[in-house]
């Protein structure tokens, strides 16, 4: 399994360095790694082999070695693994020195709030997608969901741009999420074709 740092993390690092907040970014990076460890542990417990994990400004992207054999229930637990790890991290922060704990808790809460938004490509979107597989397996519904995710991410990104320069950090993260949503939307036909195959295999 390969673990990599996404290239779009570099502008975020430079922003932190020039603003004198490199220690703050170290907390963010640690939180992201802890979050992804939760996903990877969940994948291991579900017996799913991971091909690669790319750390992004809001979390990470996990690719499976053989996604065609991953059941919807495993996808749900893997998606839940990151938020569960973040919640555990928040609990552990209360036992740390107050100065570090406050910053760590704030970062973890922001990451948790962002990741639980029910839009692709965030964890909340993955969780919702897995639930659709389990309880309402319809390719047309999934396609509508891709459209809805793209619209919502576009609106959120525009709102962060309106509040610049005060929202520059949040805008950077939202930009990345927006670009990922566009990527997911552009490849939706291939994803939906694969998901239709999985649905037919499961039924």
What integer pLDDT is reported at residue 144 of this predicted model? 80
Smallest CA-to-CA distance from 82 within 104, 112, 109, 102 is with 112
Count how many domains the chain has: 1
Check residue 74 and give its pLDDT: 86
Name the token pair of 64. Answer: 């499976």
pLDDT at 202: 46
Residues of the chain with pLDDT under 70: 1-24, 57-59, 68, 137-139, 165-169, 188-203
Give me the domain span that covers residue 68. Answer: 2-202
Q: Check residue 111 and give its pLDDT.
A: 84
Three-state DSSP class for residue 62? strand
């Amino acid at each position: 399994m390969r673990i990599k740092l996404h290239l779009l993390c570099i502008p975020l690092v430079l922003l932190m360095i020039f603003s004198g907040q490199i220690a703050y970014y170290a907390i963010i990076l640690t939180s992201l790694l802890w979050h992804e460890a939760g996903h990877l542990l969940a994948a291991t417990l579900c017996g799913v082999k991971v091909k690669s994990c790319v750390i992004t400004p809001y979390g990470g992207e996990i690719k499976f070695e053989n996604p065609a054999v991953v059941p919807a229930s495993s996808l749900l637990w893997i998606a839940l693994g990151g938020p569960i790890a973040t919640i555990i991290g928040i609990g552990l922060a209360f036992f740390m020195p107050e100065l570090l704990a406050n910053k760590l808790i704030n970062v973890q809460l922001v990451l948790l709030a962002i990741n639980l938004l029910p839009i692709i490509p965030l964890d909340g979107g993955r969780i919702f997608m897995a639930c659709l597989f389990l309880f309402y397996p319809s390719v047309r519904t999934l396609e509508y969901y891709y459209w809805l995710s793209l619209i919502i991410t576009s609106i959120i990104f525009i709102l962060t741009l309106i509040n610049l320069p005060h929202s520059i950090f949040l805008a950077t993260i939202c930009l990345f999420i927006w670009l990922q949503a566009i990527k997911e939307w552009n490849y939706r036909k291939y994803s939906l074709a694969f998901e239709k195959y999985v649905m037919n295999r499961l039924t």
